[in-house]
Structure 1
Amino acid sequence: MALTVVSGSGHTWRLTEQIGAGSEGIVYAVDDARPLVAKLVPAPRDPAAYRRRIARLVRQRREPRAVRLLSATPARVAWPLAGVRAGGLGAEGVDGYVMTDMRHAHQPFAHLLTPQVRQRLLSRATWATGLAAALSLARLLADLHAEGYVVGDLKPDNLWVDAYGRVGIADADSWQFTDGGEVFPGRMGSPGHTAPERIGTPAGTPPDRASDEFVLAVLIHQLLMCGLHPFAGHPASGGDYLSYDDNVLHRRCRLLDRASVVLPRSAPPVDLLPHRLTALFRAAFGGVRPTASAWARALSAEADPARLRTCRRGPLHVHTAERPWCPWCDLAERGADGYPAPAVRPLPDDSVPDPGVTKGPQAATDVKGRAGWQG
């Protein structure tokens, strides 16, 4: 049976199928002429505080700081448009909000991270597409930080990307921000995408810009290294692999110490990365973390077509001009081509249109994570 939600002004929406779920909420499609979805949060820690948080975000949508974030096409943020309540899901009702449906112009970010999925759904993506997505993500985070927002739970499940590498973000209700002197803290964090200072801390430990910047570097690494997490690998000491977070806490990272982890031969080589970006990764994981703006400047320089080369053996084998030969051909010889030729079979009707190879940066990548809306 379809659910109905109502806003504070009395407007009603009919919800249809469930399209996503996460640790806090459930996302539903909305029966509306506009591309909308609704997120319902059945059991927030403090229902009154959650309703107040959503109300402030809805109001901020008309303020200059949010207007600047929402002015791009396609949408960069699935911003709360109206707070809603579903009365049929419990004695006191369930709170949530209506927002833009990012599926209208994007695909789940994780589609760019796995070669097999990317081959089917983003079939013309190259390493230049990964650069474009990394640049778009860095600029988006820099803009959010400039307007006083901290994402806190920055992860592939909350991100979206289109065929040109343009990135969008959802789950704004979990961000940390200040409104009228009141702080609305962020609490969320996800395994594999949490800064070391927040790993193992009590639930509710607030994030800050620096914690966002650590995770940004992780995501950029995944985009440029065909989905490889920078803290992937079995401990070289012979101990058991436990998790990305355990490796983070023990600084097991091949960029910091090649001898700290063991990776399969199918892993992209370190020298696939331009020297400028390698230096930023080492700072992000072992020193003073570069800001999102610093990442954006460096990625913009590397995305210049003059800095890119296309392999003669395949138009999808794009790499930095610093590398004298194609790293993707090397990997293909090992049976691990990061950018295989497009799938021959036609895609289903709901796939993203293939824009063709562009001269400028496009996007491709590889991360683990559930694809689609997360609650």
Structure 2
Amino acid sequence: MLVDAATGLPVALGAVLAEGGEGRLCATDRPGLVAKLYHRPVPERAVKLAALLLHPARSVAGVAWPVSALRDEAGRTIGFLMPRIEDAQPLTVLANARLRLAQAPGFTWYHLHVAARRLANLVGRLHAAEITVGDLKPENLLVDAKARITLIDADSVQFTLAGQMHRCAVGAEGFVAPELVGQDLAAIDRDQSHDRFALGVLIHTLLLGHHPFAGLWQGPGQGAGDPPALDGLVRAGHYPGLAVSPQRPGPFAVTPNALHPALRGLVRRCFVDGHRQPAARPAPAEWVAALDTALGDLVLCAEEPGHFRAASSGPCPWCARRADLGIDSFADSEAARELMADGLRKALEAGDPMRQAFLWSHHPLLWQHADFAGEAARLGRMAAALPAVERLRSVLARTPDDAEALVAAWRRMPDLGDNPLDNPLANPLVAALTLPDGRPVAQAVAEAEGRLDRLRQLRASFAAGPPTPESAPALVAAYRLAADAFGADSRFLRPYARRAEAAASLLAETAFSGKA
């Protein structure tokens, strides 16, 4: 007979639901609860479980925390009760195209991005609570139809309570950080950089459908397609596609080029830069921010409405995969179309013109939607203006002090009724743009025009030839005005710097001669 240590009441076991390296999961007669029973119920496990049941981090949502210990007739702790997670799939199912199509056909690439974001957020919240997950792997993560993530097997996490460290003694092949491969994990204090590696692997696996170190082996001592063990590839840093790597992406692999550029940068930091510098691996918050950006950039493919793609990354990778290999990773989905329609509704309610124009320009399927018939003409004009507005926004983000680039981008703005050069607020897309310091674009352009006037005066002043005693004062004054506007080191002033020095020297000599 098993007893619930918290209540002293007996617990009856039902069918075995799953079995892993540490124990097996069984149904119970308690509504909403299952039992995990250890294969080896050693005293150290009982001590760790007792400490975990007291840890304040148990308030972190998204984790199937142990509820109470289970004891046998001899009083030994042999497992625990935990919440039963209903209507959720293991992450392994959703990351595999074949299994996903069979068991969760409505789950799109958009949903996978949402799941990845929630996973990163969960790991970040656990780290903030001073919990290191340790055994972070697909089998320990469940995802429901709304892409909500739950971490199970929480008893394996590493934490410190009352000055005592309780380690995570386990790790899955391919998810252990390279510096830990081959080590006795029970004797090692994990840190957050180790979780960051596993988090990157999980996000890569979710979004691209394969482990980042899986590929086509072309190194010495192995037959074609017969790579070393996955842990060996991780430890050696043989990330496929690098010039120095003996691995190449497999013939069925979707490469990181399909991802939004913000995510591609984090993938490289995690698996290339982070191989020898664990501190370079992206923190969970960085993944959250990049995934937010990527989600805002996802659009539906015009050819296959079940395919989402990153608008910033070119053609649909899933259509290319289907054409080249006959493999369709995502099914046609009415839910996907409704997701984009709902996004446009929200953008209209929020008065977000940039989002409205972005969604309308990328989704012809919305043009005939009855809900947007009254807005179609206005949305069409804004969508047509979006490329010019994006160029202007790019200048503001990259080189806000480049007056020539800013004014040039401004002058390429289309007329949406009133000329935005005369009345910029008449263009709602322009009105939505601001500088990093919060100033409106119109003010920045006016300032840039003033700076360019000084530059034009400088160029005109020096166009007459070498400085003379008569022209030196005007040349020096024009150069100083331009330097005040652009900075003395500006590339615009370099062609005039020597002649300005010569004019200043000539002016000084003239003044000295006059005094003499």
Task: Establish whether TM, by shorter chain, passes 0.5.
Answer: yes
Letter in 1 for 2:10: T
| Structure 1 counterpart of 2:359 | none
Question: 1:95 deviation in Å?
Answer: 1.0
Decide which structure has greater strand share: 1
Question: 1:42 deviation in Å?
Answer: 3.1
| Structure 2 counterpart of 1:292 | 284
Question: 1:267 deviation in Å?
Answer: 1.4
1: CA distance between counterparts of 2:321 and 2:165? 49
Letter in 2 for 1:114: N
| Structure 2 counterpart of 1:17 | 15
2: CA distance between counterparts of 1:340 and 1:243? 33
Question: 1:285 deviation in Å?
Answer: 1.2
1: CA distance between counterparts of 2:7 and 2:319? 59
8 Å CA contact retained: 1:40, 1:94: no
8 Å CA contact retained: 1:119, 1:341: no
Which deviations, in whole Å up to 9, do the C-alpha atoms of 1:88-128 show, x marking residues without a partner? xxx775611000012x1422111101112111221111111
Once the two structures are superposed, the pairs formed by residues 301-340 of structure 1 within 5 Å of their partners are 301-304=293-296, 307-333=297-323, 334-340=325-331
2:63 to 54, 74, 77: 77
| Mapped pair 1:142 → 2:124 | yes
Secondary structure of the residue aligned to 2:199 is helix
1: CA distance between counterparts of 2:305 and 2:244? 31
Q: Which runs of 5+ in 1 are unaligned?
A: 71-75, 343-353, 362-375
1:130 to 104, 112, 120: 112
1: CA distance between counterparts of 2:164 and 2:184? 22
Same amino acid, percent of matched pairs: 32
Which deviations, in whole Å up to 9, do the C-alpha atoms of 1:261-301 show, x marking residues without a partner? 13332211331011111111111112211111111111112
| Mapped pair 1:108 → 2:106 | no
1: CA distance between counterparts of 2:252 and 2:172? 26
Secondary structure of the residue aligned to 2:54 is helix
| Structure 2 counterpart of 1:260 | 246
| Structure 2 counterpart of 1:211 | 194
Alpha-carbon spacing, 1:291–1:257, altered in 2? closer, same or farther (3 Å): farther
| Structure 2 counterpart of 1:278 | 264
1: CA distance between counterparts of 2:114 and 2:153? 22
TM-score of the superposition, structure 1-length normalised? 0.82
| Mapped pair 1:237 → 2:219 | yes
Larger deviation, residues 124-133 vs 249-258? 249-258
Alpha-carbon spacing, 1:267–1:42, altered in 2? closer, same or farther (3 Å): closer
8 Å CA contact retained: 2:63, 2:150: yes
| Structure 1 counterpart of 2:80 | 97
Question: 1:339 deviation in Å?
Answer: 1.5
Once the two structures are superposed, the pairs formed by residues 181-196 of structure 1 within 5 Å of their partners are 181-196=163-178
Secondary structure of the residue aligned to 2:210 is coil
Letter in 2 for 1:232: A
8 Å CA contact retained: 1:115, 1:340: no
Alpha-carbon spacing, 1:357–1:32, altered in 2? closer, same or farther (3 Å): farther
Question: 1:260 deviation in Å?
Answer: 3.2
| Structure 1 counterpart of 2:184 | 202
| Structure 2 counterpart of 1:58 | 53
| Structure 2 counterpart of 1:26 | 24
Question: 1:48 deviation in Å?
Answer: 2.4
Q: Which runs of 5+ in 2 are unaligned?
A: 274-279, 344-516
1: CA distance between counterparts of 2:68 and 2:339? 38
1:358 to 331, 334, 339: 339
Which deviations, in whole Å up to 9, do the C-alpha atoms of 1:18-39 show, x marking residues without a partner? 1111111111011123x11110
Decide which structure has greater helix share: 2
RMSD: 2.2
Question: 1:196 deviation in Å?
Answer: 0.4
Letter in 1 for 2:213: F
Which gives a bigger RCO, structure 1 or 2 (Cα 8 Å, sep 6+)? 1
Secondary structure of the residue aligned to 1:124 is coil
